[in-house]
Every structure is written in structure tokens, then in C-alpha cells.
Structure 1
Amino acid sequence: MKMLKLGRTDIEISDWCLGTMTYGNQTPEIDAHQQMDMALDAGINFFDTAEAYPVNPISAETAGLSESIVGNWIKSSGRRDDVVIATKVSGPNPGWVRDGRGYDGEVIREAVDASLKRLQTDVIDLYQMHWPVRGSYMFRQNWTYDPSGQDRAQTMDHMMDVLTALDDMVEAGKIRSIGMSNESAWGMTQWTRLAEENNLPRMASVQNEYSLMCRLYDTDMAEMAVNEDITLLSFSPLACGLLSGKYQGGAVPDASRLSLNGDLGGRMTDRTLPVTQVYLDLAAKHGLDPMHMAMAWQRTRPFPVSAIFGTTTTAQLKHLLDGLSLSLSDETCQEIDATHRTHPMPY
């Protein structure tokens, strides 16, 4: 297992991260605990959750269940010191958390304590903001993104309020490091600038979507990451299961994500399955499992990445772990890049 530093912190994380967003919904607690044991035994020491999880669907009635299931594992396993636990505070939302209220300094102080209680731990290793309060171009909003209504002074005040609250939490020993999610290059540089100028906690990571099918991160964000020592925690590295091939031919397996939310969060377009097939064919050409290829590709990137994968069942996790040691040839990587140039951003 390849290990890397989380940003500029002294926290060491595996370059694969176990995502828990189905725990408490698609994945029962007993299976979730087995997954955590399996992942840790395989060398994966990094688990990611959020106060809003589980998803598929996300709802006020189930928000917090994933954290609670992780917390029950922490308590029963006795392996807290072996893992790095990451969670997130929700931004403005349709009512899943706090009746839709996003986060500010006051909310963060309350939300940290609530997450600690559910996680049954004294400290959160990485505390993240799930999406910017000012808005985000992520989740297919890039096609019509319009930042013209943003108020810069208001954004700076908000960032300082949040960083000050996070500093309080660090000083209290409740969190060790901080990160953003669904953030832009401009946003990340502002968070880091304000932190450095005011001796406040510095962003160690950003959790954005990144896969063979979604490579928005490759330009401005990549440059930001290299120059500011920000670790990418890439979510949906398997493109929400598309790269497993299970949806080809219009198939909709029972209890799959597509069966539950209809369009994979806007990822199902007229181009999605044809482009997916190109990657499936490329993997077959090189004698590779497409899921193993997709995960191994994350290790080839010219910036630090820990890829967050989610598996609904232990059987899926076992299959994925079978490709843990795979390294891609230069030829395969060159063909992946050529495929991307020919079929950019299918959704």
C-alpha cells in the first residue's frame, strides 16, 4: 500500500480511502463493519464519512447514520489508533441537515461536537466542509456556472469566521486537520492565503470528483495542488460504478445506484455508456479489470491523490482489493490520455 502525507500535516494516509456513504442505507451495519475490517487488514487506513450520509437517497431521517456506524465500529474494534477518520459538515442543503442551514463558525462548533459523539471518538483526524457556502461548479453545475452574484468581501468574512472556529476546534484537541470539498482553485488559494496570513489552520486536502470520465481537476486544480501542497481526495474514481461495466446495454441492476436515483446525479447522458465502453474495451485490450485499471490510474497522476471508493457489499470490496497492487504500463496510460482527448467529459 502506498502511503502519503495529508497536505503539509504529519498525518499519513493510504492512497486508497474507504468511503462510507452507503452505510446505513444500502449497506447494513454488519456488512459495513466487515468492510472496515477488510480494508484495514489490506493496508487501507483512511475512512471518509459525513454528517449528511448515507445517500441513495440522502434524507433528514437518515442523516448521521453513516457516522454512527463508523463510530460503533471504532468502539467495538478497538482499532481507533490504526485509522485516519475524515468527516464533513454540510453546506446549504434542501433540508437534510439543520433544516437546510449551511455552516458558519457557530455551526461548525456545534457540528464538530455532534460528529464526535456519533463517531465515538475524542478527535476527528480530518474535518472537511462538504461544499462551499458561496456555491460550487461541481456536480454538473460547471455547464452553466455563473459566479457573478458572489460578494467577495462577504466570502472573505465567511472564510475567516470558519477558519477561526476551526482553529478553536484544533486548539481544543477536537480536530487535527482541515479540508474542503467540491471547491475551486480560486477558493482553495483563498483558504490557504487567509490561513497563512492569520496563523490559522491550513487546508490539507480537497475532496473533488475525479475519474477517467471526469477530469476537471487536471488543469487549474492540479497546479494549485502541486504549489500549495494540497492532497486530492478523489471521489467517484469508478464513475459511480459506470467503469465496472454493470450499466452497459441499458442494464439497471437491482439495488444499484442507478436504480435508486435515476441518472447517477446527472452522469447519464447520451454519451455516457458509449464512452464507458471505450474504456472497458481499452482495459480488455490490456488484459485488465476495468475497475482495477481505473483505481491504478489514480496513482499515475502528477499530484498527490488518495482515491475514495465505495463498495456496497463485501463481495465488491474483495473484488476491488484484488487489484490493489496493480501498476499501469506507460502504454496503457498513453492510451488512456488519447481516449480522454477523443472523448472528453461525457457528462
Structure 2
Amino acid sequence: MRLVRRDAFSFSPLRTGERMAPGLRRCSRLVVRGSTAPAAGAPSKPLKASDRVRLGDSELLVSTCCLGTMTWGKQNSEAEAHQQLSYAWDMGLNFLDTAEMYPVPTEAATQGRTDTYIGTWMRGGGRRREEVVIATKVSGYSDRATWVRQPPRTTRVTREQVVESVDASLRRLQVDHIDLLQIHWPDRYVPLFGSGPYDVGQERPDAVPFEEQLRALEEVVRAGKVRYIGVSNETSYGVSEFCHLARAAGLPMIQTIQNAYSLLVRVPFETDLSETCRRHHVSLLAYSPLAGGMLTGKYDKLSAQQLQAARFNLFPGYMARYKQSAVQEAVREYDRVAAKYGMSATELALAWCKSRWFVSSTIIGATSMEQLKENLAAFDKDIPDECAADIQAIYKKYKDPTVNP
């Protein structure tokens, strides 16, 4: 396989069975061109979406594009999920992201169905286990989605619930281990999904301590059920606490953080999380790079009938922040920049996200094969300096317009 230089640091991949010496840093931006044989009709050269990056200080080499799965079982059938998986792997991807609560919006009748679809694809000969890097997520604190646990109860990041979650995920996925287990959102109070400033009145005195969470995760790692751990929807404080405590107590280190990042959601990661994660060798898995589809520009173009099936209408509260006039104005300006440089709005958004030095892998999600193909092809686009300057000019005018509507 061929190494593709992304920054000032490049390291050869670890050989099978090789472990890193204590204290040795592996750059999470290593890029390795995958050697997967192309499918019939595939491009003559591998897509950049199939480039390989190392996650944190782990041995996981994953594609720079990660296949998101949260619509499977709600907006997509099992057959459609299998079709997406097979096509993505034919194009060189090796990384997928799921969660115990998927599909979303989560409900008791469908919870876990996404995993089940992945499991039937794996068991049906989709790919050998070693060809698929599976990331999943254990739910943080929630007193609403109680059906995720049996018997139903508030979800917490405790030893009992981490073990229960992992065992249930393994059964649905039909595998004997998970490559990356992430805490889906914090057990403690944290403002989530653009809800605005931190509110001390929302703090919960019974939040599970960081060390207790790490020891729960250590148990499933030691049992061989999980290879590596990570976090999601986390803050600089949370990342630092997990990392400092892990080092002090000899517990597993978090390797990844999965947070929202896009042209419309930049400030939380760019201001201080980027430095925090760099210092602790934690790789960003950027989710919602198209802002739930808003950055495709499609919400100005779809018919009334098509809009009824669009993702925003499945999230009347959660997605409300993306419908603000300031958001729509920003999207139209980004759309004009895309046209100026010969790109679609989708290509601009995904190419820009991929180009950021702190983004290791970008998570895409598609409800149709047409969307999936466009998303994967977008990784072959690059952002010229002039285009980046135009993007920055818009950003100064519309800085994170989705926050605190």
C-alpha cells in the first residue's frame, strides 16, 4: 500500500501484532492508500475516501470516510443497508459507525435494528471480520430512552450497563468483539446539540465519576469484547479528565472523539477541543458534516412531497436549529462558493471537512445509493486556498448560526 503525506508527520503502519513502545506517539493523520480490489465499474484509481488514517495511538487503520448507519431500520430497509455496505466496501471503505440506540429517532419498536442489519450483512458473507472496523456507542445518561436497557431504566455509564450494552451489541452484530466502543454522550450534564451555554442549574450530583466509567470500559477491554474506547459529544474538560485519570491509574486511554463538525458547527472543536485532542492524541471522527443534509442545499429544492420524507421532518425539535433564517442564508452563500469552484454544495462541505488537519475520519450517512455515491466521490475534491478564503469570509459573517436558537 502507498503512503499519502497529509502533514509534517508520517509514520509507517504497525505490522501485525506489533505494539508501540511506551511513550511513542503515532500521528493520527497517517494516510495509507488502501489496496482493496475495486468492484466492476469502480474508478480506475482508489477514491480518497478509502485513504487510511490511524486513530489515536491505537492499531486501528481506518478509511478517511466512515459509513454512518443511523437511518437503517427507519428510513432504510435491510436490503438497502446491505446494498450501501457492499458498495462502500467495494469502493475501499473499511470503517462503519453504529450505536445501540440506532436507528434514530430512537423508539422501542426499532431500537437495535441498525445493528441487526449490519450483523446479517456480516454473517451473510458481506466481508470477513478483519476487513470491517466496527465502531459503536453505549448510551450516556437518559431518562427517556429507557427501553434501551432490559428491564427498562435510565441509561447510565456504569459497570453493569456498559457490560449489558456491549453484550447486547455483540449479539445483534453477530461478532465476537467491537473495535471501538464510544460513550455516546456524557453521563454528566453537558449542553448538547446546539442547546447553548453551560447552565450550572442543570448539573446532576449523581453523575458517574470518570474513573468509574473508565474501569467499566476496562472490564470489557480486558474481556476481549472491545479493542479500544472513545467518547462522543464530549468537551475539553471531559477529554482531559478521561486522559489524565487513565494515565494516573493505568486504565484504557480514549483514542477518539466523535463530535458534530461542519461548515455550520465549527466553534466548539476549533477553539479549544482541537488543541486538547492534539495534546492527548485523540482523533476526531466528525459527524453530521452535511448538517443533517442542510449543507446539500436540498431543502430549497425539494418538492413538498419529498420534504415530508426528509430527515428534518423526522426530528421536529432536534433539527429546528438548522431551519433558522441565518442558517439558510449561510447555506445559500456556501452554495454560491461551491458553484464558483465547480463543485456541488455537498462536495464543498465534505471536501472542506476532510481538509481540516484535526479531522481523522468523516462520518457520512445516506438514505439512497445516489447520495452515497455523491458523498464518496466528494472526497476526491480539494479546497484551493482561494476557496478556503471565501469560506472563511462567510464564516466570519455567519459564525455557528445553529447554536442557541
Same fold by TM-score, threshold 0.5 exceeded? yes
Provide the residue aligned with 1:199 in structure 2.
250
Provide the residue aligned with 1:115 in structure 2.
169
Q: CA deviation at 1:270?
A: 2.4
> CA 1:304 to 1:214, structure 2 compared with 1: closer, same or farther past 3 Å?
closer
Q: Are positions 1:324 and 2:379 aligned together? A: yes
Provide the residue aligned with 1:28 in structure 2.
77
- Contact persistence 1:104–1:158 (CA under 8 A): no
- 1:231-270 matches, cutoff 5 A: 231-248=283-300, 253-262=307-316, 264-270=319-325
Provide the residue aligned with 1:208 in structure 2.
259
- Contact persistence 2:286–2:359 (CA under 8 A): no
- Contact persistence 2:338–2:345 (CA under 8 A): yes
Partner amino acid for 2:277?
Answer: A
- Contact persistence 1:230–1:304 (CA under 8 A): no
- Percentage of pairs with the same residue: 39
Deviations 1:37-81 (A, max 9, x none): 1111112211000000001x3212211111111111111124321
Query: What is the distance in 2 between the residues matched to 1:249 and 1:65?
Result: 31
Secondary structure of the residue aligned to 1:299 is helix
Secondary structure of the residue aligned to 1:232 is strand
TM-score, structure 1 as length reference = 0.94
- Contact persistence 1:52–1:90 (CA under 8 A): yes
Provide the residue aligned with 1:66 in structure 2.
114
1:181 to 232, 242, 256: 232
Provide the residue aligned with 2:19 in structure 1.
none
TM-score, structure 2 as length reference = 0.81
Partner amino acid for 1:37?
Answer: S
- 1:49-88 matches, cutoff 5 A: 49-55=98-104, 57-76=105-124, 77-88=126-137
Provide the residue aligned with 1:313 in structure 2.
368
Query: What is the distance in 2 between the residues matched to 1:254 and 1:81?
Result: 40
Provide the residue aligned with 1:37 in structure 2.
86
- Contact persistence 1:5–1:13 (CA under 8 A): yes
Provide the residue aligned with 1:224 in structure 2.
276
Cα root mean square deviation, aligned: 1.8
> CA 1:251 to 1:259, structure 2 compared with 1: closer, same or farther past 3 Å?
farther
Provide the residue aligned with 1:293 in structure 2.
348
Provide the residue aligned with 2:21 in structure 1.
none
Partner amino acid for 2:64?
Answer: D
Secondary structure of the residue aligned to 1:322 is helix
Q: Are positions 1:10 and 2:59 aligned together? A: yes
Query: What is the distance in 2 between the residues matched to 1:268 and 1:16?
Result: 27
Larger gyration radius, structure 1 or structure 2: 2
- Contact persistence 2:102–2:111 (CA under 8 A): yes
Query: What is the distance in 1 between the residues matched to 2:224 and 2:361?
Result: 25
Q: CA deviation at 1:149?
A: 5.6
Q: CA deviation at 1:102?
A: 2.2
- Contact persistence 1:130–1:181 (CA under 8 A): yes
Deviations 1:300-342 (A, max 9, x none): 2131421111001112111222223111111111211121111
Partner amino acid for 2:270?
Answer: D
Query: What is the distance in 1 between the residues matched to 2:280 and 2:263?
Result: 24
Q: What is the aligned residue count? A: 343
Query: What is the distance in 2 between the residues matched to 1:190 and 1:182?
Result: 15
Q: CA deviation at 1:273?
A: 1.1
Provide the residue aligned with 1:276 in structure 2.
331
In the alignment, structure 1 segments of 5+ residues that lack a partner are none
> CA 1:68 to 1:168, structure 2 compared with 1: closer, same or farther past 3 Å?
same
Provide the residue aligned with 1:103 in structure 2.
157
Secondary structure of the residue aligned to 1:254 is helix
- Contact persistence 1:21–1:54 (CA under 8 A): yes
Q: CA deviation at 1:16?
A: 0.9
Relative contact order higher in (CA < 8 Å, ≥ 6 apart): 1
Q: Are positions 1:162 and 2:240 aligned together? A: no
- Contact persistence 2:55–2:360 (CA under 8 A): no
1:146 to 175, 193, 199: 199
